[in-house]
């Protein structure tokens, strides 16, 4: 992928994912986060908010085809609405900044996640450093 | 931690995690991020890190867990996180997520709690540092 041609505003990933029981279980097992079980709410089981963040980054990692050695330098997240297990989420990633400093390419990618009713559940920004 | 009892300067409940290569590989599967710096020992040993490192978001998850424990559902509905990844966490290391309340403001029945948060390694080195804010209605 020729990253030098990418400019601010380019949509780098747009995917729909269902955060089903299996996906949440895989995430919870991987990070050992059981705080979702502590949410004292009536109704459906809720996913850990960072599972939504991880899901939103799946498209960035794969659709940007980031090379080995890429470093995650910073992350901003804003959780706006809890997400029930089984919810289908629309994840969109847009390039906000792209520059080269020394041996590294710095990219800032804006993340937006909406639920199946079009309500924003999370947004944020990832700063990544690509080698070469 | 009961919200009515929150005070500036209060420490948040720490979360301690041992990070294994198996856990890193499970996270790679769960997140779809199979960057070889995380899962390929040979590639990683020749990188600037000299070995496999955990995904930043795997380490950051411990901060989110801490905030969920401290602020319950309010974190999922009104949480904001801004962090920098300061140092890599290698497989086999143990990390601790920590935080402290910096400021509490209540306005128009909305409470905003600002916290300094981070993750430190067993040797005290900062792996992650930043700020977390929770906004929730006052009951």
Interior angle at CA A39, CA A35 and CA A40, nearest 5: 150
Radius of gyration for the alpha carbons in chain A, expressed in angstroms and rounded: 16
SS3 A127: strand
Residue A35: predicted pLDDT: 72
Q: Which residues of B touch A18 (CB under 8 A)?
A: none
| Structure tokens given for B28 | 């790679």
| Cα gap A49→A19, rounded to integer Å | 11
pLDDT tens column, B87-122: 999 999 999 999 999 999 999 999 999 999 999 999
| Ranges assigned E (strand) in B12-93 | 15-18, 79-85
Contact A70 B62 (CB under 8 A): no
Question: Is a pLDDT exceeding 90 seen at residue A34?
Answer: no
pLDDT tens column, B65-81: 999 999 988 999 999 99
Mean pLDDT over all residues of chain A? 91
Q: Which residues of B touch A69 (CB under 8 A)?
A: 35-37, 47-48
| Structure tokens given for B35 | 């960057």
Are B41 and B31 contacting, i.e. CB atoms less than 8 angstroms apart?
Answer: no
Residue B138: predicted pLDDT: 86
- For chains A and B, count residue pairs whose Cβ atoms are closer than 8 Å: 139
Q: Which residues of B touch A30 (CB under 8 A)?
A: 23, 26-27, 29-31, 58
Contact A75 B81 (CB under 8 A): yes
Contacts of B19 (CB under 8 A, 6+ apart): B54, B58, B59, B89, B90, B91, B92, B93, B94, B95
Contact A72 B56 (CB under 8 A): yes
| Cα gap B53→B85, rounded to integer Å | 12
**B35: closest chain A residue by CA:** A68
Spatial CA neighbour of B131 closest among B104, B107, B99: B99
pLDDT tens column, A77-132: 999 999 999 999 999 999 999 999 999 999 999 999 999 999 999 999 999 999 87
Are B79 and B50 contacting, i.e. CB atoms less than 8 angstroms apart?
Answer: no
Distances in Å between the Cα of A116 and the Cα atoms of A44, A46, B78 are 15, 15, 19
What mean pLDDT is predicted for residues A41-53?
A: 83
| Cα gap B43→B135, rounded to integer Å | 43
pLDDT tens column, B17-52: 999 999 999 999 999 999 999 999 999 999 989 999
| Cα gap B111→B103, rounded to integer Å | 10
Residues 54-113 of A with CB under 8 A from B: 54-55, 57-58, 61-62, 66, 68-83
């Amino acid at each position: 992928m020729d990253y030098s041609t990418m400019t601010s505003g380019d949509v780098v990933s747009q995917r729909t994912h269902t955060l089903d029981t299996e996906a949440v279980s895989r995430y919870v097992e991987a990070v050992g986060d059981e705080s979702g079980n502590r949410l004292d709410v009536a109704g459906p089981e809720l996913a850990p908010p960072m599972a939504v963040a991880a899901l939103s980054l799946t498209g960035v990692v794969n659709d940007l085809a980031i090379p080995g050695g890429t470093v995650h330098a910073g992350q901003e997240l804003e959780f706006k609405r809890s997400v029930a297990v089984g919810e289908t989420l629309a994840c969109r990633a847009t390039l906000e900044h792209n520059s080269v400093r020394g041996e590294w390419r710095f990219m800032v990618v804006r993340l937006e996640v909406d639920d199946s009713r079009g309500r924003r559940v999370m947004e944020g920004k990832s700063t990544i450093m690509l080698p070469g | 931690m009961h919200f009515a009892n929150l005070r500036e300067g209060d420490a948040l409940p720490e979360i301690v995690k041992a990070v294994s290569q198996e856990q890193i590989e499970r996270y790679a599967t769960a997140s779809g991020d199979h960057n070889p710096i995380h899962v390929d020992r040979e590639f990683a040993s020749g990188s600037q890190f000299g070995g496999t490192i955990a995904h930043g978001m795997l380490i950051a998850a411990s901060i989110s867990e801490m905030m969920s424990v401290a602020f319950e559902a309010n974190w999922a509905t009104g949480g904001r996180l801004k962090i920098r990844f300061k140092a890599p966490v290698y497989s086999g290391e143990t990390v601790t997520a920590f935080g402290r309340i910096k400021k509490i403001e209540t306005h128009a029945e909305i409470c905003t709690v600002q916290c300094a948060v981070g993750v430190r390694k067993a040797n005290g080195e900062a792996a992650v540092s930043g700020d977390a804010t929770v906004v929730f209605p006052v009951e």
